[in-house]
Structure 1
């Protein structure tokens, strides 16, 4: 999925730095809301997929191998993670690489507004969209399929924010590695499929064979899946899962910072 944004408007006057950053955020927000395709894949698609899966009769049956839970109970955290993957890996990288490819970032470097304002705005908007989609998935799961809300709300929120941070850091790294919008789409598609698997979109992490689960749990979304599931069940997310997400976020952010080029 690629998202083509028109060039952001540039001011004719020289605003104060804080005002300029707010203006960039407002402009990017308007452009983002004009993209129904991006909004659909980030906000609507994960919940739509959850609804389709919830209509499968076997997914509503309690299973002993899942600790008495239903498959649909496990797919709510998966839908939450899928929203983040769509936001950070499919929607954001083509926008930023497109800006760089079209010289928008280079032109911004001659104004009081630094190109980093665009990066910050894009991260904030895509992060907010992912969180809104997560709230929608949990609401539909609760109302339509009777999936219990997270019993450890604080732990769930911590895991959720770390998962968002890790996926946006990964998206930023993809922006740094890809020099063109087409290259970004190609790289993002490969990473997207891999991250979907580790998030449990096809097979819930809790239902994977033990050897595979032990490998997946050290990936950002494998750790996120287990952390969210544990918080949903009433326990505090394990320090290992939180630590894995934090380490991945720090590493990916460092690499993105080192490799990112505005031109």
Structure 2
């Protein structure tokens, strides 16, 4: 009898560990309506509420011929970053450590660092998506011009994202439990909200206070984004401040972070 041979079926390549973790974490992230609201919706909603105040839409000489709502667009952009890096990400990572998930992952081919990388990618992407939404609302609803120096604006925005994620990772490294993470994150959140200009735009702060705030990561980011929005290259001093904070916080989080 003639023999028949069956060609071997090629095996489907298994997804890489980081890719698999990123897919799983993306599904979990999308199931958290609270985080999605505060990162993606709240900054644009706050900008809309402020824009409905008639006086905020009027240009004034005190602001260099600009309106208050125009100053608040970069502030709302930074607010999205603060929400993602200080309120959303640290409790997730601290919870994974507290429940022993990171320790159990150490015994599998998937390293705990893949989980950390996935969280950074997800919250960074959500921050950038919220920034685009805020600028779109400002442009379409209130006529706020889009950034005139897009390359400088993109650089300042990416540095701000890196800085806030490094700060969030540091908070997680210092916090052994989710309760501690939430408490520390809330304190940092309020401080960063002030320096970003949520209550008082940095551009309208008194001289000495403004100079002090510009040495903070989000005070420098607010000024850099504002300068790029006006068509100027962001000041190297402001970019340098963000770089130094990112490097310092990144180094601290790397050395202090524990998987269990």
| TM-score for both structures, normalised by structure 2 | 0.94
Specify which of 132, 136, 156 is matched with residue 153 of structure 2. 156
In 2, the alpha carbon distance for the partners of 1:16 and 1:179 equals: 37
| 1:119 corresponds to | 116
Say whether residues 1:241 and 2:238 are aligned partners.
yes
| 2:204 corresponds to | 207
Based on CA coordinates, which of the two structures has the bigger radius of gyration?
Answer: 2
Distance 1:18 1:259, change over 3 A: farther
In 1, the alpha carbon distance for the partners of 2:229 and 2:181 equals: 35
| 1:251 corresponds to | 248
Say whether residues 1:54 and 2:51 are aligned partners.
yes
In 2, the alpha carbon distance for the partners of 1:181 and 1:150 equals: 38
| 1:69 corresponds to | 66
Specify which of 225, 228, 232 is matched with residue 229 of structure 2. 232
- Map 1:16-35 → 2, pairs under 5 A: 19-35=16-32
Give every structure 1 segment of 4 or more consecutive aligned residues whose post-TM-superposition deviation is greater than 6 Å.
15-18
Q: Deviations over 1:72-98 (max 9, x none)?
A: 000000000000000000000000000
Distance 1:118 1:208, change over 3 A: same
Measured on the aligned residues, the alpha-carbon RMSD in Å equals 1.2
Q: CA deviation at 1:18?
A: 6.9
Q: CA deviation at 1:16?
A: 8.6
Asked whether the 8 Å contact 1:162–1:245 carries over to 2, the reply is yes
| 1:11 corresponds to | none
Specify which of 172, 192, 196 is matched with residue 193 of structure 2. 196
Q: CA deviation at 1:20?
A: 1.1
Indicate the SS of the match to 2:65: coil
- Map 1:32-51 → 2, pairs under 5 A: 32-51=29-48
| 1:98 corresponds to | 95
Asked whether the 8 Å contact 1:217–1:241 carries over to 2, the reply is yes
Indicate the SS of the match to 1:111: coil
Indicate the SS of the match to 1:236: coil
Specify which of 175, 182, 185 is matched with residue 182 of structure 2. 185
Asked whether the 8 Å contact 1:200–1:222 carries over to 2, the reply is yes
Q: Could you tell which deviates more after superposition, 56-65 or 189-198?
A: 56-65
| 1:10 corresponds to | none
Q: CA deviation at 1:17?
A: 9.5
Unmatched runs of 5 consecutive residues or more in structure 2: 1-11
Instruction: State the number of aligned residues.
Output: 249
In 2, the alpha carbon distance for the partners of 1:91 and 1:261 equals: 19
Asked whether the 8 Å contact 1:17–1:112 carries over to 2, the reply is no
Asked whether the 8 Å contact 1:166–1:245 carries over to 2, the reply is yes
In 2, the alpha carbon distance for the partners of 1:181 and 1:35 equals: 16
